[in-house]
Amino acid sequence: MDSTLLILVVVFFGLLVLNAPIAICLSVATMATIFSLGDVPTSYIVAQRMTTGINSFPLLAIPFFILAGELMGRGGMARRLMDFAGAVMGRFRGGLAYVNTTTCMLFGAVSGSAAAAVSSIGGFIIPEMERKGYKREFAVALTTTSATTGLLIPPSNVMIVYAVVAGNVSVAALFMAGILPGMLIGGLIMAASWLVSLKEGVGQTESATPFSGALAAGAKAFPSLLLIFIVLGGILGGVFSATEASAVAVAYALLLSLVIYREVSIADLPGILLRSAKTTSIVMILIGASQAMSWALAHEQVPQQVSAALLAVSENPLITLLIINVLLLAVGTFMDMTPAVLIFTPIFLPAVMGLGMDPTHFGILLIANLCIGLCTPPVGTCLFIGCSVGKTSIAAVVRPLLPLFVAMVVGLLLIVYVPAISLWLPRLLGL
């Protein structure tokens, strides 16, 4: 086991250092590992496991949700959601910071993409926050961290990926389990931004929107927000499955973009479809390669070895969970979310289930943990996009990012050690 695992790690990280795409790192490392076993046909096993790994009905939801997110991103949703959040939250001290967080939460949830939330919302809100006295670097940090909360609030592609890799985990249960944790972390980020507003003496100039103006903004944003209720209501009501809900989301996004908001034309659709297809292909290659890697790990009993090693360190579940979270936080600094979920779910899930943890709870813990990685260098995707949109450097953003980072870590610890935050809604609904 030691030699094969060493080959896997050396080849994977060697290619990663050479800046090879993560799918190539996974595929080549898996082939090298299986080849080293000597008693199995490498090409056959890799091809078979990659093919069967993506031969899953729940995975059909991913291309549809990606397409729906592309349509929503181009369809004028960001501005309408920001106007609505501004009408509700703008009257409070530091209100524009709350508007930023609330809009990113809503848009990230509806589009299913933190990167889309940063690029779409950041283009509007970062210059506006700077005009109202906030430092540009803080505005970038706030947008970056707030956007990740949408990955916990359904619908979320990464939850579907986790459900497929974990096995007998309900997508509907994961969707429900993510609502309160997403709102919790969003609320803690708002609390941190309020403290920053007090310390720096900014955020006093926001004015209250008349009730009629708030109603008008809400009416314009309502069709966009309705998507969440259509998807979740349909799943929970038994009208359609999560996969079928993704197709409904595309149809509704088309209706909004082409007919209601009219910010996407027929001529724009080929480009949108092409971008969605490229993103889908990357995700599917990652999933297929990770399934082959999971087979190699299972063949060498790596998950059992890791579980035994963790339990050997301490039989206290609190300590074991703390160790796992520290490892995941480290992983999140250099690996994007989807490959991290694909690689580490089969490794850590048996260990936490041995401690009695619900796999749905672990899924939310894992996603919340890796959301922090999206905001941290050197491979913080959202951080890079935020700095690009905000026209600033990562070095300048790190300091204002710290209080928001602390807020996210506090939220993560609450999610880890208070399972009811994640499991109350699924159990209430009998999922």
- Percent of the chain past pLDDT 70, that is, above it, reads 90
Pairwise pLDDT comparison (173 vs 90), residue with the higher score: 173
The per-residue pLDDT for range 321-373, each reduced to its tens digit, is 888 888 888 877 777 788 888 888 888 888 888 888 899 999 999 999 988 88
pTM of the entire structure?
Answer: 0.79
Least confidently predicted of 72-86, 238-252, 408-422:
72-86
Phi, psi of 140 (to 5 degrees): -65, -45
Q: What is the pLDDT of residue 420?
A: 93
Spatial contact of 36 and 4, defined as CB atoms under 8 Å apart: yes
Spatial contact of 108 and 155, defined as CB atoms under 8 Å apart: no
Residues in Cβ contact with 248 at an 8 Å cutoff, skipping those fewer than 6 apart: 230, 231, 234, 240
Answer whether residue 400 shows pLDDT above 60: yes
The closest alpha carbon to 8, from 27, 345, 22, 23, belongs to 27
Task: Average the pLDDT over 137-146 and give the result.
Answer: 89
Task: Average the pLDDT over 289-299 and give the result.
Answer: 76
Measured distance between the N- and C-terminal CA atoms of the chain, rounded to whole angstroms = 38
The per-residue pLDDT for range 235-264, each reduced to its tens digit, is 777 788 878 888 888 888 888 888 888 888
Answer whether residue 421 shows pLDDT above 90: yes
Q: Is 263 left (phi over 0), alpha (psi -120 to 50) or beta?
A: alpha
Q: What is the pLDDT of residue 406?
A: 92
Helix (H, G, I), strand (E, B) or coil at 256: helix
Residues in Cβ contact with 19 at an 8 Å cutoff, skipping those fewer than 6 apart: none
Answer whether residue 180 shows pLDDT above 90: yes
d(CA 56, CA 68): 20
Answer whether residue 207 shows pLDDT above 60: no
The per-residue pLDDT for range 96-126, each reduced to its tens digit, is 788 888 888 877 777 667 777 787 777 778 8
Q: What is the pLDDT of residue 93?
A: 63
